[in-house]
């Protein structure tokens, strides 16, 4: 199914929604980690995790806004952050399972995979690379 240049593919829309969710949750949880776990044993680890989460949030926002605006270049920072999310999630799942816990990090890992799939499907590639000649594109104003 090839979308028209003006109609954004569903899988890209899903990726954009997930990026917004990731931005909000990363900012929120990052701030909680920085505020609540700044004292005691492991404080440095919690602070580092909180800082990384807070710094990732704007990248997710830029990704969501950029993809909505058909900015192909924005996929590069999305690849980097989602790739790190997948790597971190897989390590966390393995360590958690080895420690006898529930592999809850699998959810974030799965969401990152869905975002990457949404950004790089054939339909998304076609839509992102389409020129603004569709009926839904805003009219160009002469300088």
> What 8-state DSSP symbol labels residue 141?
P
In a domain, 139, yes or no: no
In a domain, 37, yes or no: yes
- Provide mean pLDDT across the span 42-60: 87
In a domain, 1, yes or no: no
Q: Compare 137 and 142 and report the one with higher pLDDT.
A: 142
In a domain, 99, yes or no: yes
Cβ(6)–Cβ(51) below 8 Å: no
Cβ(76)–Cβ(42) below 8 Å: no
In a domain, 137, yes or no: no
Q: How many domains does the chain have?
A: 1
pLDDT value at position 139? 52
- Provide mean pLDDT across the span 96-110: 87
Apex 36 CA angle, 30 and 41, nearest 5: 105
| Residue 5: pLDDT band with limits 50, 70, 90 | low
> How many Cβ atoms are within 10 Å of 102's Cβ, its own excluded?
9
Q: Which residues span the domain enclosing 32?
A: 10-128
| Residue 102: pLDDT band with limits 50, 70, 90 | confident
Position 104 pLDDT exceeds 90 = no
pLDDT value at position 135? 45
- pTM equals 0.81
């Amino acid at each position: 199914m090839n979308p028209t240049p003006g109609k954004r593919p569903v899988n890209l829309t899903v990726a954009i929604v997930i990026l917004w969710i990731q931005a909000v949750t990363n900012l929120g949880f990052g701030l909680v980690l920085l505020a609540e776990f700044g004292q005691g044993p492991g404080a440095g680890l919690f602070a580092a995790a909180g800082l990384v989460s807070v710094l990732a949030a704007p990248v997710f926002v830029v990704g969501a806004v950029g993809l909505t605006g058909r900015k192909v270049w924005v996929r590069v920072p999305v690849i980097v952050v989602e790739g790190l999310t997948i790597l971190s999630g897989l390590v966390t799942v393995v360590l958690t399972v080895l420690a006898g816990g529930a592999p809850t990090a699998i959810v974030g890992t799965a969401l990152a995979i869905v975002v990457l799939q949404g950004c790089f499907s054939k339909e998304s590639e076609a839509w992102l690379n389409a020129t603004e000649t569709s009926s839904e594109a805003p009219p160009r104003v002469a300088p």
